[in-house]
Copies of this chain bind each other. A is one copy, B any other.
Amino acid sequence: MAKKDNISMSVIRRLPRYYRFLSDLKDKGIERISSKELSKKIGITASQIRQDLNCFGEFGQQGYGYSIEHLHNEISNILGISTINPTILIGAGNLGRAIATHISFNSIGFELKGIFEKNKDFVGKTIQNVPIYYIDSLEEFCKNNKITVAILCIPREATSEIAKTLYSLGIRNYWNFSHYDLSVKYEDVIVENVHLNDSLMTLCYRISNNFIID
């Protein structure tokens, strides 16, 4: 598959959306779809979809459209979601528990090996069979389990110190809910931020300005 260099984050961020809609169509037993129908379902123009997919190779066929199973598999391969990254989660509060449950029910590239918490009331319990450990055992656990990804569900104030430890352990991949900007401090890390407040403020702006189109 001929893959272009310099693929932009905007293209990458649309791939999961394609994957999501294709999973749906596949589950419904649909075998192929025209680019026009696909465009309507996803809410992205046919030419944008074509342009995005062209970054990774040739998928559609003139007059035939897209084979759903083929395209679904290809996007799954592009995203790398069948890889298993050994992962830990820090913070067993409401959000941490929600995310731990989410990860366990969606087999997408990550295996949650352990949850770490400083509140001893939680320690020894499990979330979807994943044990909650006391934060003190973090270093040993990460080394023994070759952890490569950390999910941060802790308040911003606590993140600076934890990030320092995780970075020193060689962890370079983060799913970050903490409102602490890791990538400003550490230049060689991969961070997917879920900044809930940023999202809320954006919603606020859009409501105030009646800004519908995303």
Interface positions of A (Cβ within 8 A of B):
9, 12-13, 15-17, 19-20, 41-43, 78-81, 83, 85, 93-95, 97-99, 101-103, 106, 108-110, 148-149, 173, 175, 179, 181, 183-184, 187-214
Contact A200 B94 (CB under 8 A): no
Residues of B within 8 A of A81 (CB): 201, 204
Residue from the list B78, B93, B101 in contact with A205, Cβ < 8 A: B78
A198 nearest CB neighbor, chain B only: B16
Chain B CB within 10 A, most for which of A78, A103, A190, A206:
A190
A43 nearest CB neighbor, chain B only: B184
**20 A-B pairs whose Cβ atoms sit less than 8 Å apart in the complex:** A12-B206, A15-B205, A16-B198, A17-B198, A20-B197, A20-B198, A42-B184, A78-B205, A80-B207, A80-B208, A83-B207, A95-B102, A109-B204, A109-B207, A110-B204, A148-B207, A149-B207, A192-B199, A192-B202, A194-B194
The copy count of this chain in the complex is 2
Residue from the list B41, B94, B193 in contact with A98, Cβ < 8 A: B94
Residue from the list B43, B83, B175 in contact with A181, Cβ < 8 A: B43
Contact B13 A202 (CB under 8 A): yes
Residue from the list B79, B97, B179, B187 in contact with A201, Cβ < 8 A: B79
